[in-house]
Structure 1
Amino acid sequence: MTLQRISKDYLKPNYGLILLIVSYFFNSSMVVSTKVLENDPLETSQSRINPLQILLVRMSITYCCTLVYMHWNKQSVPDIPWGPASCRKWLILRGIMGFFGVFGMYFSLMYLSISDAVLITFMSPTLTIFLSFLLLGEPFSKLEALGSLISFSGVVLIIRPTFLFGEQTQGQEASQDDIVETQNPKLRLIAIGVSLLGVCGLSSVYIIIRYIGNKAHAIMSVSYFSLVTTVVAALGVFLIPSMTLQLPHSWKQWGLFLNLGVSGFIHQILLTMGIQRERAGRGSLMTYTQVIYAVFWDVVLFHHWPNIWTWCGMAVIVSSTIWVINMRASKQNVVATAELLSTSDFELDELEN
């Protein structure tokens, strides 16, 4: 089989999916860099970096990358640097919702393992369907509502509240494992709550990007997201007393910050391009590649395998979300077929008359 045949039969029809898979790899690279900066066991508590500072550095680098990209591609990117006037309010809203989405993830990484933090974001496709019902008037069935509740039960397995699972032992092994995930149930609950706020932000971003569509270049979405997040993070760092600005003090931290900015830019541009080119249902399924990346980083870097409750929560969340997505796709196919048949019947009647 020639390369031309492979490109024609496999690569081009799935170009959007390939972009999404690669984008999630760069997203996993950002996640693991954040985890190390926030919880590096070789650093003291005073030298570890807080989430807002990480966002400030990452997004400022990403925004500079968007400006360079737009400058080099003036001919193909219209209305630089602010985009079409009709889309600017939606681009600003995309930036605001994007901040909540990314902050939820970065905050939760202080207390949860990479795999747990990523798993919580898997509620986003189901929540996106629900928000589409509220904001866009799309149908939302009782079975889809049931799927949402099942997904939430998977989150409960990850939270492991004490009134259901009892107090966890705090032995030496547990204290060493605090680097990967906290054993304190209150801190886990706070982390989950902020993470769920991030899920709401991610779902809102998906809807906004789909609404904007091709009316604005993909780089505009990345530009507004990085600029708004930079501004909000800077205000938080300079106005909140506990969020003091701290410069990286080692080559390792500088390298991790550089990776955050570059990987963030690549992730956002590939993600936006992938969403614009791929149907929502198939595109949402690609988020599950993050499970592979997350478990890989947990095992390779921290020698931490997810426990039985996390595996159960993973199975519940992933299976219920796939079920909801497939159910929605089946309904859309039925509606499309019915419309096609009704159109054909109408044309047949016209011919007979």
Structure 2
Amino acid sequence: MGVFVKKLNALEPPVHPFELIWVRMVMTWAVCIAYMTAASVPDPVLGPKGVRLLLTLRGVSGFIGLFGTYYALQYLSLSDTTVLSFLTPMCTAVTGALLLKEEITAKQMMASLFSFAGVILIARPAFLFGQHVQDTQGGEGDPARTVTASQRLGAVGVALFGVIGLTSAYTTVRAIGKRAHALHNLSAFSSFCVVTAPIAMLITRTKFVIPDNVHQLLLILGVSVCGYGAQVAMTTGLQRETAGRGTMAIYVQVIFSLIFEKLFFNTTPPVLSLVGTAIILSSAIYVAVSDLTLFRRHFDLRLTFRLSS
């Protein structure tokens, strides 16, 4: 999705984030309502009565998080935007422990810290690594324009504001749990975006760009399809797993970020990026093995207790 957004930003005229949000979410909302209606899911539009306030919060926070990501992709490289969004798993683990009373282990915290350190090595953002990082995004194949220091700083600030939105969204999804269908979460998110994005475009006097060629239309459809698939998978996963462990899976994005930057923007990852990737993969495997060992011990204890009884 990030690749498609960056490609659309490079077109003339560029497609504004508000328009991308609106187009993507119109399609998402239609699919959600159609599926839930066909599957006879109760209250497909408003959701179950007991969680409607939480669903509203899910929509508001999701819009903030999505706008932060789309806006940052206008001025930051794919890897820089990724490293900022990866603040979300650690923040979500903390909010899940504080607000939802979920368990957070020292191993998970250590793995998160090591993973984030790996992401920093991969992205090497200029605001941390100094002026030797070029302002131009990617290699020769990157269509994005060169940005100024003030534009980059502003994009970082908006991206961090988006992290707050994403953290709230993930925590809210976990708080809702299985009291609502996974598509109720996505429907609330998309409906708020469908209403809010056009209002924001009117206030900011943003021009709506109508696709005039197949290439542009396919890119917009790609944003919608990838975004929908990611949201369904994320929501379904967070309904079945704690917020901290569930969002650890987000770190897999860094692998795709490296591959896609090479394929689409001709960017060759340096040694530090490879080291960061190794750290992230090692941390993810460590958490997975630790959780599996803990589960086996818990299962063995329950089995022993039942046999002895």
- Give the TM-score, by structure 2 length: 0.80
- How far has the Cα of 1:181 moved from its partner? 7.5
- Cα distance per residue 1:222-253 (max 9 Å; x no partner): 10000111222111111113x22222222211
Q: 1:229 aligns with which of 181, 188, 193?
A: 193
Specify the alignment match of 1:34 in structure 2: 5
Look up the match of 2:211: 248
Once the two structures are superposed, residues 268-317 of structure 1 have per-residue CA deviations (whole angstroms, 9 ceiling, x without a partner) of 22332233234556533432332232222211122112345555665666
SS in 2 for 1:248: coil
Q: 1:334 to 1:67 in 2, by over 3 A?
A: closer
What runs of 5+ residues in structure 1 fail to find an aligned partner? Answer: 1-29
Mapped to 2, the partners of 1:227 and 1:67 lie a distance apart of 10
The residue type equivalent to 2:246 in the other structure is G
Counterpart AA for 2:15: I
Alignment-derived partner of residue 23 in structure 2: 57
State which of 32, 43, 50 in structure 2 corresponds to 1:86: 50
Structural mapping, 1:320-331, within 5 Å: none
1:116 pairs with one of 80, 83, 87 = 80
Contact between 1:66 and 1:265, CA under 8 Å: does it hold in 2?
Answer: no
Over 3 Å counting, the alpha-carbon distance change for 1:256 and 1:85 in structure 2 is same
Cα distance in structure 2, aligned partners of 1:230 and 1:86: 23
The one-letter amino acid of 1:49's match is: V
SS in 1 for 2:269: coil
**Aligned-pair distance for 1:203?**
2.3
Q: 1:214 to 1:36 in 2, by over 3 A?
A: same
Flag the 1:267–1:160 CA change in 2: closer, same or farther, 3 A: closer
Displacement after TM superposition at 1:327 (Å): 11
User: Distance in 2 between the 1:259 and 1:246 partners?
Assistant: 17
Query: Structure 2 stretches of 5 or more lacking a match?
Result: none
CA distance 1:213–1:237, shift in 2 (3 Å)? same
Q: Distance in 1 between matches of 2:79 and 2:200?
A: 27
Give how far 1:262 is off. Answer: 3.2
**Distance in 2 separating the partners of 1:334 and 1:301:** 43
Alignment pair present for 1:213 and 2:184: no
Partner of 1:136: 100
Distance 1:185 1:255 in 2: 32
Q: Distance in 1 between matches of 2:127 and 2:230?
A: 37
2:78 touches 2:261 (CA, 8 Å); kept in 1? yes
Picking from 126, 131, 137, the partner of 1:166 is: 131
State how far apart, in whole Å, the 1-side matches of 2:138 and 2:263 are: 19
How many pairs align?
308
Contact 2:22 2:193 in 1 (8 A): yes
CA distance 1:195–1:169, shift in 2 (3 Å) = closer
In structure 1, the residue matched to 2:33 is 67
The answer as to 2:230 corresponding to 1:267 is yes
2:49 and 2:260 map into 1 onto residues whose CA distance is 42
When residues 212 and 185 of structure 1 are mapped into structure 2, their CA distance, relative to the original with a 3 A threshold, is: same
Separation of aligned partners in 2, 1:120 and 1:321: 19
AA in 2 matched with 1:297 = F
- 2: CA distance between counterparts of 1:136 and 1:170? 41
Once the two structures are superposed, residues 53-93 of structure 1 have per-residue CA deviations (whole angstroms, 9 ceiling, x without a partner) of: 1111111111111122122222xx11222111111000110
Report what 1:7 is aligned to.
none
Taking only the aligned residue pairs, the percentage that are identical comes to 33
Question: If you compute each CA radius of gyration, which structure gives the higher value, 1 or 2?
Answer: 1
Deviation at 1:141, TM superposition (A): 7.6
Supply the RMSD in Å over aligned alpha carbons.
3.8
Task: Label 1:179 to 1:135 Cα distance change in 2 as closer, same or farther (>3 A).
Answer: same
Q: Distance in 2 between matches of 1:68 and 1:91?
A: 19
Distance in 2, Cα, partners of 1:140 & 1:269: 25
